[in-house]
Amino acid sequence: MIGLLVLHLLIAGVMPMLGRRFGSKSLLFGALAPAAAFIYAVVVAPEVMAGSALITEHSWVPGIGLSIRFALDGFALVMVGIVSFVGVLILVYARGYMSDDKSAGRFGAYLVAFAGSMLGLVTADDLLMIFVFWELTSITSYMLIGLEDHRAEARAAALQALLVTGLGGLAMLGGLVIIGQEAGTTSMSTIVANPPQGMAVSIGVGLVLVGAFTKSAQIPFHFWLPGAMAAPTPVSAYLHSATMVKAGVFLIARLAPAFAITVGYWRPVVIGVGLLTMLLGGYRAFRQTDMKLLLAYGTVSQLGFMVALFGAGVVRLAVAGTVLLIAHTLFKAALFLITGVVDHQFHTRDLRKLHHVARRMPWLAAAAVVAAGSMAGVPLLFGFIAKEEALAAALDPATGTAMAAIVGLVAGSALTVAYSIRFVVGAFFSAADEEPELAAVTRGGLALTAPVAVLTVLTLVFGLFPGLLDGLVTAADDSLYPGLERLQLAVWHGFNLALGLSLTALLTGWLLWRVPGLWERLGSVTGRLPAASRVYIRSLAGLNWLADRVTGALQNGSLPIYIGTILLTTIGLAAPNLGQAWTVPPDLVWALNPMQAGVVALVIVGAIGTARAEDRLSAVLWLGTVGYGVAVLMVLQGAPDVALTQMLVETMLVVIFVLVLRHLPRRFDRMPWKARQTTRVAIATGVGLFASLAAFLAAAQRPLRDVSDEMVRLAVPEGGGANVVNVILTDFRALDTLGEITVVAVAAMGVIALVRAGMPENREGLVELERDNQ
Amino acid sequence: MSRLDSLILATLVRTIVRLALVFSLFLLFTGHNAPGGGFVGGLVASIALVISFVSRGPAIVTRFGPLTPEIILGVGLTVAALTGIGGWVWGEHFLETAKTTFTVPVVGPVAFTTALPFDIGVYLVVFGLAASILNTLGRVEEDDSL
């Protein structure tokens, strides 16, 4: 498992380089990563389906019980299969889709990195690791939505997706920590097998649900998904329909068996949100004219469906959910890829502009009919099996499904039928509203068509022979609800109520589509309702306004005020604690030798000189005296390393001061008012007194002397060096050093960015950018 | 304006800079057993840069072949981090020091610890920081003098 993740990481790492050299051909190499994952899944499938989850465990931070733990059980196997299989198809497809794109390498890198993150997410068995992979998918999604980073729209959409899913991720982290604390373990499988209970757990589960809802675009967080359609179509097909958006569904499916009953609000909330999302998504999808947006809202709707099915926490409904999960992946990915082909060949995705595309591309139209038929739940296609399973399970009194839920399910299915018909007819079988202006049609290459064909054929095969998936679906739901008997998926269950409802949905959907001008009229009614995306934009603007105000109040640009604030805060926070350590050092010696006293006198003179200096240059030189004096003190105390460092930093400071001074007036300003000067003197005296007192008292407080003795003792045997200071830096406290040099690097970037932002050429660039965006 | 136009000084500065660079390497390599180390060595090298910056004017852009200061900084950080990961792979803990002694012809036995590559990383980061800030400031000075 870890090997596969490392492989993804490595391939993602070399993709930009390959992309520069081989262009979009490099994407075929990138496909090796998900291909390896798929092969692995196929190889281990028999073992996993026999009921034994594959567990990989490495201790990570044993001190706090953290471990790297992956568990590949039946349900994870389904997800791994989806992620890797669709991943291969998408990368092959992208090779044709991005054939003349320079960003192919970058695209491939993000896509492979995403595939790896997703793989980690579905197999991780540790709450914190789930969170890490969860966030990684959010970040790669952000990168991919904003791939065309010269477009302001793409950048805004990327940011929106990141903020919404990031906010959810934050809530989820809080929830996972609470659940982990209450359960006393961070192992997902242990928690699900033995769920904790209580008020805190209820809150934790609620927070995790918020995370799942944002990721899977459930109401009221659904709006980021249509926005994410700014990404290239292969990305939409992969992340925003087949895999990433299913992460929330996946998490709900995992948690439902444990918490659907014990957490009181679970069922009404999860099923309610799922069904509402299904209805709203379906209704919105029906109104779209852009093929991608239609599919995006369709995805929102189907995700709601899955959330409701898995969220019920009942095994029969979860089985239907699993079938839907697979079916949806096949038909929705196919539909997106078909949209991509249409867009690629005709340079439009507008249902009103496309003119009888079926005449030009009969095979593509056939694939679209199959995929959309599956989405609508037409018999003999895979989607029908999923819908039949769902309806049959909901109607089964044993599952205790409420009447309202069944009505919602049928209504949602009817809307699905309506927008499916609209999609196929609008894109392939209708005349354009205006005079058609079609671009020159070239034949889509094999790379574009083969993935569509594979997905379509699978939809047909599984639709006709659903029994092929019996074992996989059984294993998946057995890992969620242990003790499941082997299922038998079938096309024909006889004339029953479920079939009747299915047909009702089909008929109602067709009628909805037939009512002329219905979606235009609906649009004019609902356009006035507040949209969630508007709330997002308002709150973002509000946040910016608040940040401006706060910054304006705190960062007023006066250096004396900044320094004064810092100094006074230090004293204010630390001074009260001095009282607790009110002891005079027992063995107090004022000076070890005359040399020390002399140097200290020099430092004092330097300090006074600095304060009294009239012009800036002499102040700097006086200050230098203080610094070098302290360095000499260090030498006398036998700390050559510290002295050396002090000396060098002092030198650097003097040089930099001199460089800066050339831009400042030679003399200090006269103090405008007496009061201000008094304040400064007071602050300076206070800080001086405080620092001296603190040093004096600290000398009496050495309870942990043995730590330094220990370090001196271990320097040579453990660190292999006679210079204790260096051994501390490079071995005992090396992690601190690593942290510090990271900070140094970050600071360097900050300095460069700040200085360069003010330079003329960049100012012009910014103005241009703003003009472009208007 | 900041140029110190004097042949003697320019020659002197060049010598000092070279000496300082050599000294900085000396500090880097002896640092594990005597005063010095990556941080101090990097500071000395940075001061060498600052001195040449002051004497030759802000127009000099510090580049070392294809290496920009930012790359040097990044390489330093990577080297240090990789040393840490090495401790993981070959030892037990992140950043654990490994020691070995080998014999170099003529020189004799040489003790080597992985603290050295780590320190080299620190050295490069400090040096890269100074060089990149000087480059950036240098460009600003150029703009001001126009």
Alpha-carbon distance of A580 to A190, in angstroms, equals 47
pLDDT band for position A511 (50/70/90)? confident
Name the closest residue on chain A to residue B40, using Cα atoms. A645
Work out the minimum CA distance from A66 to partner chain B, whole angstroms: 15
| B105-128 pLDDT, tens digit each | 666 666 677 778 888 999 999 988
How confident is the prediction for chain A on average, in pLDDT?
Answer: 84
Nearest to A278 by CA among A406, A157, A168, A378: A406
| Cβ contacts of B122 on chain A, cutoff 8 Å | 729, 737, 741
Q: Is A312 strand, coil or helix? A: coil
Name the closest residue on chain A to residue B34, using Cα atoms. A723
Most A CBs within 10 A among B26, B101, B136, hence the mutation to make, goes to B136
Question: Looking at per-residue confidence, does A770 or A342 come out higher?
Answer: A342
| pLDDT greater than 80 at residue A470 | yes
Max distance between CA atoms of chain A, in angstroms, equals 108
Q: Sign of torsion, CA A476 A479 A481 A482?
A: positive
Chain pair A-B, CB pairs under 8 angstroms: 144
Q: Do B36 and A742 touch (CB under 8 A)?
A: no
Portion of chain A with pLDDT greater than 70, in percent? 92
Nearest to A188 by CA among A124, A253, A263: A124
What is the dihedral angle through the alpha carbons of A693, A699, A703, A705, rounded to the nearest 10 degrees?
Answer: 150
| B32-48 pLDDT, tens digit each | 778 778 888 998 988 88
Q: Sign of torsion, CA A93 A95 A100 A106?
A: positive
Work out the minimum CA distance from B107 to partner chain A, whole angstroms: 19
Burial class (CB in 10 A: 0-12, 13-18, 19+), A360: middle
Q: Sign of torsion, CA A32 A38 A41 A45?
A: negative
Q: Is A667 strand, coil or helix? A: strand
Alpha-carbon distance of A244 to A169, in angstroms, equals 13
Q: Do A719 and B95 touch (CB under 8 A)?
A: no
Q: Do A723 and B115 touch (CB under 8 A)?
A: no
Alpha-carbon distance of A656 to B51, in angstroms, equals 10
Amino acid at A491: V
Query: What's the pLDDT score for residue A521?
Result: 65
Element (H, E) at A56: strand A54-61
* DSSP for residue A426: I
Query: What's the pLDDT score for residue A41?
Result: 92
Portion of chain A with pLDDT greater than 90, in percent? 25
- Measure Cα distances from A302 to A70, A402, A742 in Å: 29, 20, 45
Query: What's the pLDDT score for residue A332?
Result: 92
Q: Do B74 and A745 touch (CB under 8 A)?
A: yes
Q: Which of B1, B32, B36 sits opposite A662 (nearest CB)?
A: B1
| pLDDT greater than 60 at residue A196 | yes
Most A CBs within 10 A among B97, B112, B127, B133, hence the mutation to make, goes to B97
Alpha-carbon distance of A65 to A270, in angstroms, equals 32
Name the closest residue on chain B to residue A642, using Cα atoms. B35
Least trusted range by pLDDT, from A74-78, A349-353, A604-608, A710-714: A710-714
| pLDDT greater than 80 at residue A761 | no
Contact A394, A411 (CB under 8 A): no
Mean pLDDT of A60-80: 82
Q: Do B32 and A727 touch (CB under 8 A)?
A: yes
Max distance between CA atoms of chain B, in angstroms, equals 58
Work out the minimum CA distance from B18 to partner chain A, whole angstroms: 17
Alpha-carbon distance of A393 to A382, in angstroms, equals 17
Nearest to A107 by CA among A167, A153, A154, A152: A154
| pLDDT greater than 50 at residue B146 | no
| pLDDT greater than 50 at residue A6 | yes
Work out the minimum CA distance from A741 to partner chain B, whole angstroms: 7
Alpha-carbon distance of A361 to A453, in angstroms, equals 13
| pLDDT greater than 60 at residue A459 | yes
Q: Do A745 and B54 touch (CB under 8 A)?
A: no
Q: Supply A615's token pair.
A: 């012009």
| pLDDT greater than 90 at residue A329 | yes
Q: Do A748 and B33 touch (CB under 8 A)?
A: no
Contact B36, B22 (CB under 8 A): no
Alpha-carbon distance of A350 to A272, in angstroms, equals 33
Least trusted range by pLDDT, from A425-434, A474-483, B17-26, B108-117: B108-117
Query: What's the pLDDT score for residue A49?
Result: 85
Alpha-carbon distance of A191 to A128, in angstroms, equals 13
Cβ neighbours for A247, distance < 8 A, ≥ 6 positions apart: A118, A121, A122, A134, A137, A212, A215, A216
| pLDDT greater than 70 at residue B63 | no
Name the closest residue on chain B to residue A635, using Cα atoms. B35
Query: What's the pLDDT score for residue A772?
Result: 47
Query: What's the pLDDT score for residue A526?
Result: 56
Q: Supply A650's token pair.
A: 């002092």
Work out the minimum CA distance from B99 to partner chain A, whole angstroms: 7
Q: Which of A658, A729, A751 sits opposite B133 (nearest CB)?
A: A751
| Cβ contacts of A640 on chain B, cutoff 8 Å | 35
| pLDDT greater than 80 at residue A482 | yes
Most B CBs within 10 A among A59, A723, A730, hence the mutation to make, goes to A730
Query: What's the pLDDT score for residue A349?
Result: 84
Please report where in the chains the tokens 């709900």 appear, as a residue: A252
| pLDDT greater than 80 at residue A209 | yes
Name the closest residue on chain A to residue B51, using Cα atoms. A655
| Cβ contacts of B81 on chain A, cutoff 8 Å | 738
Beta bridge partners of A124: A70
User: Which of A132-136, A643-647, B82-86 is the most confident on average?
Assistant: A132-136
Q: Do A737 and B2 touch (CB under 8 A)?
A: no
| A25-65 pLDDT, tens digit each | 888 888 889 999 999 999 998 888 887 888 888 777 666 66
pLDDT band for position B143 (50/70/90)? low
Work out the minimum CA distance from B47 to partner chain A, whole angstroms: 6
Query: What's the pLDDT score for residue A433?
Result: 67
Work out the minimum CA distance from B98 to partner chain A, whole angstroms: 8
| pLDDT greater than 80 at residue A206 | yes
Q: Do A718 and B97 touch (CB under 8 A)?
A: yes
Query: In chain A, which residues touch B (CB < 8 A)?
Result: 640-641, 644-645, 648-649, 651-652, 655-656, 658-659, 662-663, 718-723, 725-727, 729-731, 734-735, 737-738, 741-742, 744-745, 747-748, 751-752, 755-756, 758-760
Q: Do B31 and A720 touch (CB under 8 A)?
A: no
Nearest to A752 by CA among B120, B132, B69, B79: B132
Query: What's the pLDDT score for residue A774?
Result: 41
Query: What's the pLDDT score for residue A485?
Result: 78
| pLDDT greater than 80 at residue A621 | yes
Alpha-carbon distance of A235 to A242, in angstroms, equals 10
Q: Do A745 and B129 touch (CB under 8 A)?
A: yes
Q: Is B104 strand, coil or helix? A: strand
Work out the minimum CA distance from A641 to partner chain B, whole angstroms: 5
- Measure Cα distances from A325 to A32, A53, A302, A310, A504 in Å: 24, 21, 9, 10, 23
Mean pLDDT of A228-241: 87
Mean pLDDT of A415-441: 77
| pLDDT greater than 70 at residue A375 | yes
Q: How many residues in total does chain B contain?
A: 146
Q: Supply A705's token pair.
A: 């002397």
Q: Do B47 and A652 touch (CB under 8 A)?
A: yes
Work out the minimum CA distance from A735 to partner chain B, whole angstroms: 7
**Which ipTM did the prediction report?**
0.82
Mean pLDDT of A677-700: 86
Q: Sign of torsion, CA A523 A524 A526 A530?
A: positive
| Cβ contacts of A734 on chain B, cutoff 8 Å | 84, 95, 97, 118
Q: What share of chain B is helix, strand, coil (3-state, %, to 5)?
A: 65, 10, 25
pLDDT band for position A122 (50/70/90)? very high
Q: Are strands B99-104 and A66-72 parallel, antiparallel or unpaired?
A: unpaired
Cβ neighbours for A344, distance < 8 A, ≥ 6 positions apart: A97, A444, A448
Q: Do A734 and B95 touch (CB under 8 A)?
A: yes
Buried b / exposed e over A605-641, threshold 16 CB at 10 Å, is ebbebbeebeebeebbbbbbbbbbbbbbbbbeeebbb
Least trusted range by pLDDT, from A6-20, A383-397, A575-589: A575-589
| pLDDT greater than 70 at residue A417 | yes
Query: What's the pLDDT score for residue A90?
Result: 92
Calculate the CA A68 to chain-centre distance.
Answer: 20
| A236-294 pLDDT, tens digit each | 889 888 888 999 999 999 999 989 888 889 989 999 999 999 998 988 888 888 889 89
Work out the minimum CA distance from A652 to partner chain B, whole angstroms: 6
Beta bridge partners of B110: B102
| A442-451 pLDDT, tens digit each | 555 788 888 9
Q: Do A726 and B37 touch (CB under 8 A)?
A: yes
Alpha-carbon distance of A46 to A32, in angstroms, equals 23
Asked if residue A586 has a cis previous peptide bond (ω within 30° of 0), the answer is no
Total-model pTM: 0.75
Q: Supply A390's token pair.
A: 């769902």
